Amino acid sequence: MNLLFITTSLPYPPNTGGAIRAHGIIEGLRLAGHTIHLICFHDEIPPSDLGITIHPVPSFQRKKLDRLKTLAFTRQADIAGRFYSDAFTQKLTDLLKNQPFDLIQFEGIEAVCYLPLAKKIQPHAKLVFDTFNAEYMLQRNIFDIDRQSLKRLPMAMYSYAQIGRIKRYERDMCGLADAVIAVSEEDAVLLRPLCDADKVHVVPSGIWVKPYLQAPPPIDMHQPSIVFTGKMDYRPNIDAMLWFADDILPLIRAKMPNVHLYIVGQQPHPRLDRLKADDQIIITGKVESVIPYLYGGTAYIAPLRMGSGTRLKLLEAMACGCAITATTLAASGLRGAKSAMIIADDAPIFAKAVLNVLENPSKREEMGYSAQGYARRKYDWSAILPNLLKVYGALGLKG
């Protein structure tokens, strides 16, 4: 098949959740012998040895004034225009007019704004919307958390204003697509009422497990250590770390005062700056690889209170044999894998669970072994990609 993928950034290397998913799908299909084209925002000359054809478009940043005008004077979802540019539209138009595709796949809600254009120019191509999240529910979760803080009330009201707009936008895009992919059954339940339920399919997120199985050279980390990984300008990750640092970490330190917290991920938001005053909290910023931290940490945490979809950070931690404590929301989408981690949803119980992991080497080893085995069996891309090919087959495509 001749396939076109539309992403908002180049998923090489795969260093964020969305990039990990797009990279896994594209690489799996490439290895299966399909011809892959990728159009994305990218400011440098892309690598030429990836085995796919890349069509880069210079990146741009939408002006804050334009976003405010959209909020005040339209009913359009902010996210619908976040990555819409004239340059991308022109490049995509030229590509579609000169190259017929069997299937065009839009990776995430920020890329699906180009679906109507693709449908207009290539009406016979099959169009697939890979959702990443049920975005309207993500905004509702963010609103429910942010409204509890007076300082966060303006952002809570922004999220509240977006819920209905995003739901309408998701309904429109799901309706135009030939197939809609949810990353979990939980998300599929939220998306099916927005369109023909039969067009919504579940294809979980995964990782290529093999690179995670071999321990890297050790790095210098204070012990005992608690590790969190993620893109640190993402609101659910920011909230997770502030909640953990303010409400959970003090309870852990009351019994284990020498514990250190490592927040590992690119683009730390200014809201995290106040944590830098604590010399036992290390905010790394961008790192070449999270794997040394996953192997070097004593315990891994995912105290997420916002979000939907599948947390790829958890799959990475599982593949590295980490002992994980997570909220129910963080573990959603990982059916069956919850037995390989401790689930806790309020601060005292979460703190007790993390202490249990920190204080018991045998428990850490048992949990890590279980988590790694589950990742290998269920969440390697080799086990997941057949599900995607079934979706394509249901659209009448073969290969």
Can you tell me the mean pLDDT for 124-143? Answer: 94
Q: What does the alpha-carbon distance between residue 142 and residue 263 come to, in Å, rounded to a whole number?
A: 21
Name the strands in the sheet holding 324-326, side by side, starting at the edge strand that comes first in the sequence: 281-285, 260-264, 225-229, 299-302, 324-326, 341-343
Q: What is the DSSP string of 294-352?
A: HHH-SEEEE---S--S--HHHHHHHHTT--EEE-HHHHTT-TTGGGGEEE--SHHHHHH
Q: Topology of 2-206+381-394 in CATH?
A: Rossmann fold (3.40.50)
Mean pLDDT of the chain: 93
pLDDT at 356 over 70: yes
Residue 181 burial (10 A CB sphere; 0-12, 13-18, 19+) = buried
pLDDT at 339 over 90: no
Q: Let me know how long the chain is.
A: 399
Each residue's pLDDT tens digit, 360-394: 999 999 999 999 999 999 899 999 999 999 999 99
Handedness of CA 380, 382, 386, 388 (dihedral sign): positive
Each residue's pLDDT tens digit, 49-80: 999 999 999 998 888 888 888 888 888 999 99
Residue range(s) occupied by CATH 3.40.50.11010 in the chain: 2-206+381-394
Identify the pLDDT of residue 200.
97
Residue range(s) occupied by CATH 3.40.50.2000 in the chain: 210-378
pTM for this predicted structure: 0.88
Instruction: Say what the alpha-carbon torsion angle 92, 97, 103, 104 is, to the nearest 10 degrees.
Output: 10
The residues, any chain, with a CB within 8 Å of residue 302's CB and separated by 6 or more, are 228, 240, 311, 313, 314, 317, 324, 325, 326, 327, 330, 331
Identify the pLDDT of residue 63.
84
Architecture of the domain whose range is 210-378: 3-Layer(aba) Sandwich (3.40)
Please give the share of the chain, as a percent, with pLDDT higher than 70: 98
